[in-house]
A and B are shown apart, each in its own frame.
Chain A
Amino acid sequence: MKLVRVNGIYDWLDDRLGLEPLAAHAREKVVPLHRHSIWYYFGGMTLFLFGVQVLTGILLLLYYRPGEDTAFESVQFIIADVPFGWLIRSIHSWSANLMIATLFIHMFSVYLLKAYRSPRELTWVSGTLMFFIVLGFGFSGYLLPWNKLAFFATKVGTEVTGVVPVVGHFSARLLRGGDYVNGATLTRFYGLHISILPLAAFGVLFVHLLLIQRMGMSVPRSVEGQQMKTVKFVPNFALRDLMGWLVILALLATLATLFPWELGEKADPFASAPAGIKPEWFFIFMFQTLKFLPAKIGPVDGEVLGVVAFGVAALFWLLVPFLDRKSARGEKSPVFTLIGVIALLYITVMTVIGYLT
């Protein structure tokens, strides 16, 4: 009886919306199983954590008040007075960090397995744009509690855009809402964090997911052509994905409750930068590079060269599918593998040095 009613509702909707092609796609979609299949899960985990960010972010909005005199106090209020406020805030911070971690894993696995090769160039481009958007979320969200570390990280971070030749001064002022980091910057970052970046993220994410549905999972070149098992996406792979989500949720809950995210001290624009200041871990490799560069490299300021080099690297990363012609032809591409490995090593080594020194 119940089943009949559900079918009835489905038929009613199908008549009006034409759901059958979607249902057929879900029935027919399969996922190949091979020795690299484990990497398929990290995209889904990142998506799950993004969902957690949206939900907890909306909750935090109910109490957060942007402004030099209110931001820090409102986060303090969330942590100390709002029931479960500490948990929601801690989950939002931890989930952000885990999301960037799973995103790094997802991105590097896609890169090293050359899943960006033809015909999935646009999937890579949209994914890389998503990566930049997520870094933007991290950078803008870091400032919102208006604490000392975030204040100086933002000063340095916006000044980094300021040293870019030609457009630097203009873009630094645009980001800061003036010449210096102050309440105007906080308001701007707030707008960026809760409206502009989410809009961009939803748009790019929609394209990314649509492309994945259209083209299916990429099979690495090394196992391509071999006989391999496949599983149905619905329900088999979807259930496995769900298991991955549960694992990450358990990890998130553990971290958020056992190690509640600290708020730190309120920002004071008239205090010296505290010793041991560091940006968030995912920016440390850039921070450490800037620390190592000498004041002058030839006639150019060291930091200008560093910042421009990172800009060029980001552009290279975005355009990799179009530069790696060998992968596009389905051939082995050891040079690009080497570039990926070097990038991974560089980021890892610089991050470790950043933490040790």
Chain B
Amino acid sequence: MEQPIRPVKARRRFVNFLLGTSIGGTLISVLYPVLRFLIPPEVVESAQSNVLAGRVSELRPNSGVIFKFGSQPGILIKTPAGEIRAFSATCAHLQCTVQYRDDLHHVWCACHNGHYDLNGKNISGPPPRPLEQYAVNVRGDEIFVSKG
């Protein structure tokens, strides 16, 4: 009497296993593409390493302008002493775009009151790191900015 039960049970387990794995497989084959679709693809940025950021004649001492550095904003500064410097304009705190404050003679972020000196160093407020500094090349009237 007891003997036939085992193969029946084993067969049922096998059928359940097939059913379970096929349901699981179906779910995974639906969910995986959906999840992958949600994650944005990495976009390769055009390696723009050298840009024309501004003109010497248009930049007053003790002022700053935002320029496009690839897809990101950079800030070009002429110090009160007349020296030209360039930094990333993305605040190290929470990525707002910084500005030059001529009344303070340094760089300031309006979002959370972060301050950076003329070397891009974080001097007060919440920013944890300095601004990334770019190399500046002046050719005639044109100011070129490059990374590194």
Residues of chain A at the chain B interface (Cβ within 8 Å): 152, 155-156, 159-160, 163, 170, 173-174, 176-180, 182, 184, 269-277, 287, 290-291, 293-296, 301-303
Contact = CB atoms under 8 A, between A and B. Distances in A.
Contact of A273 (B40, B71, B96, B126): B96
A170 B40 CA distance: 10
Q: Which of A180, A270, A275, A294 has the most CB of B within 10 A?
A: A270
Contact of B95 (A159, A293, A296): A159
A160 B98 CA distance: 17
Contacts of B110: 272-277
Given A296-B128, A302-B128, A272 B66 contact: yes
Interface residues of B, number: 30
Interface of B: 38-40, 43, 66-68, 71-73, 75, 89, 91, 93-99, 109-113, 122, 125-128
A270 B94 CA distance: 16
Nearest to A274: B110
A173 B39 contact: yes
A205 B95 CA distance: 35
Contact of A180 (B38, B39, B71): B71
Nearest to B124: A295
Main secondary structure of the interface of B (DSSP, over half): loop
What 5 A-B pairs come out closest when comparing CB atoms? A272-B99, A273-B96, A159-B94, A273-B110, A295-B128
A160 B126 CA distance: 13
A43 to B, nearest CB: 33
Contacts of B40: 173-174, 176-178, 184
A155 B96 contact: yes
B104 to A, nearest CB: 12
Among A152, A155, A159, A273, chain B packs the most CB atoms within 10 A around the CB of: A273
A355 B89 CA distance: 26
16 contacts: A156-B96, A156-B112, A160-B94, A163-B94, A182-B71, A271-B97, A272-B66, A273-B98, A273-B99, A277-B96, A291-B113, A294-B126, A295-B93, A302-B126, A302-B128, A303-B94
A178 B99 CA distance: 25
A291 B109 CA distance: 11
A160 B109 CA distance: 16
Contacts of A170: 39
A291 B110 CA distance: 11
Contacts of B98: 272-273
A155 B112 contact: no
A350 to B, nearest CB: 14
B128 A272 contact: no
Nearest to A291: B112
A180 B128 contact: no
Contacts of A160: 94
A269 B95 CA distance: 12
A269 B70 CA distance: 12
Contacts of B99: 272-273
Given A174-B39, A273-B97, A301 B128 contact: yes
Contacts of A291: 112-113, 125-126
Contacts of B72: 180
Contacts of A174: 38-40
Contacts of B128: 295-296, 301-303
A174 B38 CA distance: 7
Nearest to A357: B113
B81 to A, nearest CB: 22
Given A173-B40, A180-B72, 4 more contacts: A174-B38, A178-B43, A270-B67, A277-B96
B68 A270 contact: yes
A191 to B, nearest CB: 11
Nearest to A279: B111
Contacts of A271: 66, 73, 97
B113 A295 contact: no
